[in-house]
Structure 1
């Protein structure tokens, strides 16, 4: 605010004349409080302006109205005096507020029929520097339906006056002054057209409360004769004091005690002695009776109102004090609770931190102990293994020294010449045994698998594979062509389409295998596995049956490879009732028989479990982890078709479901629940192969372009021991 800032920047050149238009509404309270906060300081003067509406008639007890000109002079005078007292009563709370703020206030009452015009006339005649108005409420400004009074005043106000319209403590609109107010000429005494009251002093009213708000009894406060019964209690019937019309706000002692009640004492005079020179003025008996009755009724109502107001003030003060005490107690309790909560949280955090440190120390100690035990076991195992491998190597070399006619022996020079000194361009794969090279020996395309010097148990697997493959021949078993015992080299027939694992997962961006090929390959694998289980004089258990160990030739005929982990089982323990106990388990995770892994008991049905997982992969082309559970749940829910390999659009769902059910039986957790390979599993697989051959009459007509040349011949083998 420009005016307010000027007050703080330096002394004003002259005292500004500030006025606030007031009434008994809430807007006047906001206007006065805003004016005191923004324009005035202690000791300065303020003009309070109230516009009283001029009336030409008064109501009667019968509900009708009588013109003032038709009434008796004394009755009209009493009525006017009551209206004037009521108008003066409006200044009481504003005067109290100014007294608390140590502001001197001049009270002006203007009577007119047009409120806006009366305010503008007063501003022009004074003249005023600043005029503050309250914004109109729903009930209108100054109790009249003239909500446009602030607008009219802003329009008609002279240019030297700044008009502020305040709404709920904030500026609603401003009409700024353009000129300096003219100097006011001196006026003779008692010539002002406005009724001016006495200026209230700081000692007139004292409040026990230090609140800065303006307190009203109510917006619809009663008339002066109801608020101040002392005006009428001491009057005798038929006698009224004309001096009571000269109501002076400073004539009664106002003192506000702690309960904000107040007592007002007036000394009325005899109406007949002061209103006339000679004697009594006679009134009609009817008018006097009505006036006396009305006065008695008003005295009674005023007394009741005063009592109710006093009681309400006491209760309000008591409630406010209790509320203040409760709030103080609540704040203290909340502070104590917050301190306790913070202390508890700090203690819990410290305890948790100490607990974590303790747990970490315990875990570190346990881990160190386990590492030490594991290292000791590894050292002992390595020593035993080294001794055992040395003995086995010695035995193998001794046995190889003798002429063995079961397989062709190649020299290392022949193998080096064929592989171009083991060139990387000839390398087609890498397995757990060692690298695999493609070359030509004896004008035949072969695959050479070379034993790595650091391969674990490589010599034992080399010897086992030579012993097994050199003794057996079967269309579904890979063919061993020869070996170089001195350097651990094995020579196999070359399988053009790589492993079944590569084709199922379409490595090298190869086409998907048709379902006819898959059914035929499954039957061929079962046939080759049954051949191993029926080997004489002792059955052979493969122990590592998986898609990576199934190789496919150029016509997609499947052959079982990697029999280095195969073990001979005595015929007496080859059935599913009694098994042959092994000192260590071997195979690939997810394909190992659960009972074999837990107990070490090996039997031919250990291969049946691996076959079940392999068969499920053939139709789903999914990883083995949790595959049996996935297919079983899909069958139960009726959405088995969703588990089939989506790369094949023409699956025979019913036959695939039969295929999956026999595979799930093979993958049972308990060995005794798995079906027999020769009497149950293989007949069903042969039936499905016959169905596939009916759809594709000749295997030779199958598209050899359905799979590209394998990137590797023998995939890597993961062993779990």
Structure 2
């Protein structure tokens, strides 16, 4: 025996109009929202293979695309609008009612909806059995059959295997029923044929009477009444009334007893008395019929109200469930947001602690650096002249060497003071005198003496002696003056060729790297510019004027910690912008000054706005126009490489500038080697 499956509602469909009415009625009246139903179409076949008969009739199969469009697709809209899930199956069998009956029994179906049959002339003549009538005879008692037409619905209870209580109308009543007016619909004919075939049982919900059938007759005797108007097949309001068969049988028994009694006593009673009793029975019958009709109407209304209430309760349960799920989702979301907020607060607190630790470390580093600086300055201020590692001159020797600082011997003017040409120990020297009104002059003097006496390099100017009494410094004499004089052709000097300019750029970077790699503490020049770069007779570059140089802690040479200066120093257009704004000094502060000097070497222009000028020319493809016009044979490709490197050195932030030892100097050496061996005599001869 098949196992009991999930109970559902089945709707049998075909291509006729009544199938459409059946689906619509079931969706509107029988099914509730979020429930399911099964749409079944049976295909009649002439014969099936014996092994496939059982499976084909009981289990069914999903429809093909052609069957889906032909039978099922028009009914999907009814179910979708009501939120009903429809399962679609196709059954194969020789007989349609047999296929439906087997499916009902196999799946324990409690309710099946079918369309009323269309009765044509041939079916009337041959009295062919229709699907609803066959289902009434073969379906189990637990299944209710709903027969639906355009304006009528009939609920039938199938006959059980042991039930034989069928109401069989008399021949005369059947004749009156079948002799209705010609304008009856095919569905009316079905209802009359069903009554004729005796399929309306005592438990049936709806019974239709003939239009001219105004009496219930038993045998040959019947009672006629002109006053009563029972419902007819054409009366649309009476088609929805449910009339119980058992009540009708009771009324028929009462009429039979009355007729039998009347016929027995008719000979003993007068016609007037007989007529009175007949009228009385007629009134009682009419009253009973009206009471029963009213009770049926109230039962239908109660059933509708119960269905509405059940539907309302179901919807309320759905709303409550949705509200509960929404509340749970909101609580979950709130919990997630709470966790995010907590994590953000913890992260902010951790960041604040790390920032406080970093600030504390920086302050400690700055404090230690300041203490070392103060100790160094104290040591420098307490040094005696005997500690100076160079020759010491007195003021008279300095005055004799400069002819008492004759203006004719003046070579130039610097921030520290004037520079004179002199003769000491039969050697031409350059003497830099301290200006009397300069602030912190003694400190700069001592700083330059300290740096130049502790470092020696071919690209650093050589300190020959000092005069501590008058604050004079004696340097080696450089015949070709400063780089600034030669770039701007002071005293009509010839322009420097491009290969010599590349060599000078390389030597400047070499001397600067030497200062940055000084041990134990790097030295930052802080005032690198063309006027502080000297050129010897053979155009060897010498970096001078280190009076503003600073000894910074080794930690300040890296990229993480900077040495904080309370006051900036240097020439405006060459000062590192980040150092000028924050006071944080590092070895890359000199890289910015080097970038400006390199741009001046290739353009021959002043420092103001030179970086922007070259950058715009490169972007516009006019780079050759900004090169020094006094040099006619610039190698454009190599010069463009030098300009791009110089622009990287002029970046606003220290961390964006390239490294001097690993990036800048190797590139400058490569460009210097392109010039080959320089013939300095040619340049000297052209002066």
TM range (shorter): 0.3 to 0.5
Q: Relative to total residues, which structure has the larger helix share, 1 or 2?
A: 2
| TM-score, L = length of structure 1 | 0.42
Between the two structures, name the one with larger relative contact order (CA 8 Å, sep ≥ 6).
1
